[in-house]
Amino acid sequence: MQQVTTNAYRQDALWRYIITGCGLALIVLTLSIGAFLCYKGVGTFTTYNHSIAEFLFSADWAPSDSAEGGGSVGAAIFIFGSVITCALALAIATPFSLATAIFMTEISPELGKRFVQPAVEIFVGIPSVVYGWIGLTILVPLIKNIFNLRFGFSVLAAGIVLAVMIFPTITSLAADALRSIPKSYRAASYGLGATRWQTIAKVVVPAAITGLMTAVILGLARAFGEALAVAMVIGKMRAFPTSLLSPTNNLTAAIAADMGGAMEGSEYNIALWTMALMLFIISLACIFAINFLTAKGGKQA
């Protein structure tokens, strides 16, 4: 009996060490990636003496493809392109995602579990290049014909493609947040004479607001990091969009298109690394926002 207890204790300790080691390895990997991006990205400001204000707010993008520098690295067009496409994607995806999550958890849980949830999971597994190809061959020509444009590449096309891509992420996390609300909340609401829709709107959704906001923020992080699908439909034009039907460019598309052709160590190459660093900082900001909301929700609970 003592031998069995000792073996069980050793196995428990072994798995605890393995899990702890994996967690520490993940932390070290994340810190290493961040340190490497900082090392490469800050060269725009330290080696080539450009200002942060120039990088963030100037639209003059003409970095030198040599180590001597002397070009300009205004990334405002790419930054604005990322912000506008992600904002449009959230505006399109969030209402549909929340409505789908409410249907799955509150309106018809059985139908949601058997049919809707598997369909959402299928969307998660589709490669981004497939979304981009569908957008390129169907959505772009459709926008061109509907609005009588010369080309269909546009902010609208990129926003719709991104919305479809982040839809399953927001939907799954929002459904989990709604399911986490105790049934006693609903029972108490019904006991007070509230209807189903009143219970959903006045009780369930407010109680799950922290989880719902977390779902939206993670969807935003996914949208900011997407490159291939957006690059296929956004037009990759280095200009501020004048409307949702105008082509433009964004951070991820610019990195994906130009990093392979930029000479290693050149001003151009380092400027692209600075863009990558900015995306990393945006991801960290999303994570910190989620942790803040979670902590705030825990205190309120």
Write a three-state SS string for 94-151: HHHHHHHHHHHHHHCHHHHHHHHHHHHHHHHHCCHHHHHHHHHHHHHHHHHHHCCCCC
CB 50 within 8 A of CB 221: no
Q: Does 111 share its domain with 239?
A: yes
Q: Does 94 share its domain with 160?
A: yes
Position 297 scores a pLDDT of 64
Tell me whether residue 59 is in a domain: no
**Span 213-239, average pLDDT:** 91
Q: Does 6 share its domain with 134?
A: no
Q: Does 95 share its domain with 242?
A: yes
CB 171 within 8 A of CB 124: no
Position 1 scores a pLDDT of 53
Structure tokens at 12: 């428990």
Tell me whether residue 68 is in a domain: no
CB 239 within 8 A of CB 77: yes
Which residues, 6+ apart, have CB-to-CB distance to 249 below 8 Å?
A: 77, 78, 81, 234, 235, 236, 237, 238
Tell me whether residue 238 is in a domain: yes
Given pLDDT bands bounded at 50, 70 and 90, which one contains residue 14?
Answer: confident
pLDDT for residue 4 is more than 60: no
Position 79 scores a pLDDT of 95
Given pLDDT bands bounded at 50, 70 and 90, which one contains residue 53?
Answer: very high
Q: Does 26 share its domain with 118?
A: no
Position 260 scores a pLDDT of 83
Given pLDDT bands bounded at 50, 70 and 90, which one contains residue 296?
Answer: confident
How does the average pLDDT of the chain come out, rounded?
90
Tell me whether residue 266 is in a domain: no
pLDDT per residue over 139-172, tens digit each?
Answer: 999 999 999 999 999 999 999 999 999 999 999 9
Tell me whether residue 288 is in a domain: no
Gap between the Cα atoms of 93 and 86, Å rounded: 10
Gap between the Cα atoms of 81 and 76, Å rounded: 8
Tell me whether residue 278 is in a domain: no
Q: Does 10 share its domain with 80?
A: no
Given pLDDT bands bounded at 50, 70 and 90, which one contains residue 2?
Answer: low
Q: Does 81 share its domain with 212?
A: yes
Tell me whether residue 242 is in a domain: yes
Given pLDDT bands bounded at 50, 70 and 90, which one contains residue 223?
Answer: very high
Q: Does 226 share its domain with 128?
A: yes
Position 245 scores a pLDDT of 95
CB 157 within 8 A of CB 135: yes
Q: Does 24 share its domain with 114?
A: no
Position 299 scores a pLDDT of 57
Q: Does 38 share its domain with 145?
A: no
AA letter at 95: P
Count of domains in the chain? 2
Position 178 scores a pLDDT of 94
Q: What value, to the nearest 5°, has the Cα angle with vertex 166 and ends 164 and 172?
A: 110
Q: How far is CA 288 from CA 9, 94, 295, in A?
A: 36, 21, 10
Tally the C-alpha atoms within 13 A of residue 290's C-alpha that lie toward its C-beta: 17
Q: Does 7 share its domain with 147?
A: no
Q: What is the CATH number of the domain that holds 206?
A: 1.10.3720.10
- Domain hosting 22: range is 2-51
Q: Does 127 share its domain with 176?
A: yes
Indicate the pTM of the whole model.
0.88
Rg of the chain in Å (alpha carbons): 24
pLDDT per residue over 57-75, tens digit each?
Answer: 999 999 988 888 889 999 9
Tell me whether residue 301 is in a domain: no
pLDDT per residue over 87-131, tens digit each?
Answer: 999 999 999 999 999 999 999 998 888 899 898 988 888 899 999
Gap between the Cα atoms of 227 and 258, Å rounded: 12
pLDDT for residue 300 is more than 60: no
